[in-house]
Amino acid sequence: MTASAPGEPAPARGKAASGFGLFRLSIEGRRAPALFVGGWLGTLVGAGLSAIGLIAGPSLATAVVLLAGLGLLSIGLVLLGGSQAIERQAAGAAYGGPSPVLLFAATITATLLVASLVGIVLEALGISFGPSDRAIGDLVSVFVQAVVFIGMVRLMVVGSGALSWSEMGFTGDRQRVIGGLASGVLLAVPVIVLASLVALVVVPLVGATPPSPLPATGTSTGFGLHLIAGAGVAPFAEETVFRGAALTAWLRSVGPTAAITRTAILFAAAHVLPIGGGTFDQAAGLAFVATAARLPVAFALGWLYVRTRTIWAPIGLHVAFNGILISLGELGVAAEPGILLG
């Protein structure tokens, strides 16, 4: 079966995914029953332990239970992804890999696990990041997240044979790289204006603005570190997951409009997860603002990827979008912090 380039409609819409879905709880006829059973066991037990670790009071035992839960949950989701990929490829599905939602869940869970382990190691070494060097901590956090994001795409998507890096729009051709980045950068200001207008409408409805994931530091060093983190590392990693893997996968099965919409929602959800509040109403309001403010750029990133058929275009837009907002924040200009993509 010939693979389609990024942005092409699904080449095999008539070929549905395997009937052996994840929620058909039977191993009869499955090509990888061990993966399926192991995946569900790990997912269910891991989810239960994670819930206990989150609900229970803080203690060493609670921390151990939570880490064990996140570890089992991550492994379970990866195994389910492998089972799903095998069944889909055997059925000749248009996209023969794990569902983007499953990839997203596994990536978020693995990120929480690895970030927690890195935090424990740093604490054991006596390394901590206070207010004066928060930007260093932010960079470390974003770097860890990026490693997990790209690693999970390599493991679950590329490793399963579902998509290659070139099919996700990565190319070493200098002209396509430069042209793609430039086309994205040119769209940054209009997209920022649109996202800011949306924020200006929805913020008064809630009466609060979500905090920026990379707040102004007031120092040139902090500014530089935040630019590296927010306008360098994060865009590359996030575009790999959301446009490279998720959008390409959905393009092969549901077509451009639905694929862009689904990816935009998933992308907005990823940036809403860290947001909390003192009450449920406050948290829900902040989540609403953050989602509404990010949807314009999420749709723009997806549209640009489909139009240009190269991952470098949305990376260029993402880099410029974050870079401009981080710069405005450091300059004290009134930019809506709730729309920074992190």
**Chain segment 56-104, per-residue pLDDT in tens:** 988 999 999 999 999 999 999 999 999 999 999 999 999 999 999 999 9
* Domain annotation covers residue 106: no
For residue 200, the model assigns a pLDDT of: 87
The pLDDT tens digits of the residues spanning 197-225 come to 988 888 888 777 777 788 888 888 999 99
* Most distant CA pair in the chain, distance: 62
Q: Give the model's confidence band at 276: pLDDT under 50 very low, under 70 low, under 90 confident, else very high.
A: confident
Residue 193 lies inside a defined structural domain of this protein: yes
pLDDT given for residue 278 in this prediction: 72
Count the residues in the chain.
342
Q: What is the pLDDT of residue 340?
A: 64
- pLDDT value at residue 27: 83
Whether residue 13 has pLDDT greater than 70? no
Which of 14-23, 29-38, 241-250, 278-287 bottoms out in mean pLDDT, i.e. has the lowest? 14-23
| Residue-level pLDDT at 88 | 94
- Position 178 pLDDT exceeds 60: yes
- The predicted pLDDT at position 57 comes to 87
Q: Which of 178-182, 213-217, 252-256, 279-283 has the lowest mean pLDDT?
A: 279-283
List Cβ neighbours of 266 (8 Å cut-off, separation of 6 or more).
100, 101, 104, 242, 246
Element containing residue 198 per DSSP (H, E): helix 174-206
Q: Are 6 and 169 within 8 A, CB to CB?
A: yes
pLDDT of 284 strictly over 90: no
pLDDT tens-place string over residues 247-269: 999 999 998 999 999 999 999 98
Question: Which amino acid is residue 327, in one-letter code?
Answer: S
Q: What is the average pLDDT score of the chain? A: 88
On whether residue 240 sits in a domain, the answer given is yes
Express as a percent the part of the chain with pLDDT over 70. 91
Task: For 38-77, give one letter per residue: b (16+ CB within 10 A) or e.
Answer: bbbebbeebbebbeebeeeeeeeeeeebbbbbbbbbbbbb
pTM score, whole prediction: 0.89
* Residue % of the chain over a pLDDT of 90: 64
Q: Looking at residue 179, what is its pLDDT? A: 94
| pLDDT at residue 7, as a whole number | 43
**Overall number of domains in the chain:** 1
pLDDT reported for residue 289: 85
Q: How confident is the model at residue 243 (pLDDT cuts 50, 70, 90)?
A: very high
Is residue 22 a part of any domain in this protein? no
Task: Name the band, by pLDDT with cuts 50, 70 and 90, for residue 10.
Answer: very low
- Does residue 209 lie within any of the structural domains? yes
99 in a structural domain: no
Output the DSSP codes for 104-140.
HHHHHHHHHHHHHHHHHHHHHTT----GGGHHHHHHH
Residue 79 placed within a domain: no
Other CB atoms within a 10 A radius of the CB of residue 35 amount to 20
Report the pLDDT averaged over residues 166-184.
Answer: 93
Residue-level pLDDT at 3: 43
Provide the pLDDT for residue 173: 87
Taking each helix axis as running N to C, give the angle between helix 174-206 and helix 312-330, from 0 to 180 degrees, rounded to the nearest 10.
50
Q: Which domain holds residue 328?
A: 116-339
121-172 pLDDT, tens digit each: 998 888 888 777 889 999 999 999 999 999 999 999 999 999 999 999 998 8
pLDDT of residue 334 exceeding 70, the answer is no
Distance (Å, whole) CA 289 – CA 210: 7
Quick check: is 103 in a domain? no
Q: What is the pLDDT of residue 14?
A: 42
